[in-house]
Every structure is written in C-alpha cells, then in structure tokens.
Amino acid sequence: MGEWRRLGGEIVFDAGIFRLRRDAYEHEGLPTRPFYVLESNTWINVVPVTPAGEIVLVRQYRHGIQQTTLEVPGGLVDLRDEDPAAAAVRELLEETGHRGAPPELLGAVSSNPAILDNRTHCFVVRDARPVGAPNPDPHEDVSVEIHPAQRVREMVLKGEIHHSLSACALMLFFLQRRDA
C-alpha cells in the first residue's frame, strides 16, 4: 500500500450531533481529491438481557432509510457521561425504562471507518428489569419489545434486525454467551 499523508482539515458544517470535516491528503506524494469525514462523539449500544434470558429491543423510525427499525438501545456518549458504560446505563433507562447489572463491555468497533471518526462500544446488561416508563429524548419515538434470545438471533440472521451496529452488538453477545 502506498503512503497516505493528511495535510490538514477544516470543519465545513456543524450539525450538533456531528461535524462535517473536509480533509486534504496526498497519496504517494501526489495531492488527492478532498475526503469528507463525519466527526461524532463515541456511540454505545446495549444488549439488555432479562432474568428470563430475553432481549429488550426498541423499535423506532430512522430518517436515513425512512423506515422503522428494530434495534438495541443505544446513543451518544455526551458531556455528562464520564465513560461509555455510564452512557449505556442512561440510554437503557431512557429508551426502555429498564435497569440491570453493571454494563459488561462486549467490544468496541469502528462505526463506519470510511466516513466516520468515532467508535461504538457494545455492552451487555444482564438482569434487565423495568423500573419505570421509557423517557426518550423529545425527538425519539420508541416502542419497547422483548423477544426470546434465539428469536433475536434469527432476526439478525434473516435481516429483520438490519441496523448494522445493533446487529454487531447482538452478534458479539451471541458469540460470547456464557450458556453457548
């Protein structure tokens, strides 16, 4: 592979939850076209597992594909969170009304390294139980669904759960299951 050298970058748009950065590069000593990168905070995803071994999921509308999706709870690590695990606890409670055991890290992945600069931390929260009603952000409209783990695995494999980062978190969970 040839050598890539970043010459600099500038923010060309700030949308609050992400910033669009235009980078200048040279490849093997020659200037390239500009490359655009979305800068974003760290993201988290949570696989909440009930005492019965079921998985708590959320269904919500996604503007990018103009459809509802079934996915694990997740969101941004923001300034009030000291670490991704704290964001996992917060997002689980906000989106589902559930709490459970302390989050266990399943792994961290690059969200989409072609265009995003952030990572997604995937957690499992065992013994997830409802403690109140969901309280999502004002721009979120979510419904909570609870499914047997085996059914969730099948939904991922059949493409019924197609949010890539949710599918990744779920597959990390299934690959690391204690009872597998």
Give the DSSP H or E segment for 94. Answer: helix 84-96
Do 130 and 163 fall within a single domain?
A: yes
Indicate the residue type of 135. Answer: N
Q: How many domains does the chain have?
A: 2
135 burial via Cβ count (<10 Å: 0-12, 13-18, 19+) = exposed
Q: Could you tell me if 13 and 46 lie in one domain? A: no
CATH code (residue 98): 3.90.79.10
SS3 163: coil
pLDDT of the residue at 1:
78
pLDDT score at 180: 47
Pick from 79, 69, 84: nearest CA to 140: 69
User: What does the alpha-carbon distance between residue 117 and residue 111 come to, in Å, rounded to a whole number?
Assistant: 8
Report residue 62: phi and psi, to 5°: -120, 120
Tally Cβ neighbours within 10 Å of residue 55. Answer: 23
Task: Report d(CA 152, CA 167) in Å as an integer.
Answer: 10
Reading the chain (180 residues) residue by residue, the pLDDT tens digits are 789 999 999 999 999 889 999 999 999 999 999 999 999 999 999 999 999 999 999 999 999 999 999 999 999 998 776 799 999 999 999 999 999 999 999 999 999 999 999 999 999 999 999 999 999 888 888 999 999 999 999 999 999 999 999 999 999 999 998 654
- State the residue range of the domain holding 29: 4-39
Residues 11 and 82 in one domain: no
Do 61 and 94 belong together in one domain? yes
Same-domain pairing of 97 and 142: yes
Same domain, 8 and 67: no
Mark whether 74 and 25 lie in a shared domain. Answer: no
Question: Are 103 and 168 contained in the same domain?
Answer: yes
Task: Using DSSP, state whether 88 is helix, strand or coil.
Answer: helix
Query: Are 157 and 84 contained in the same domain?
Result: yes
Amino acid at 49: V
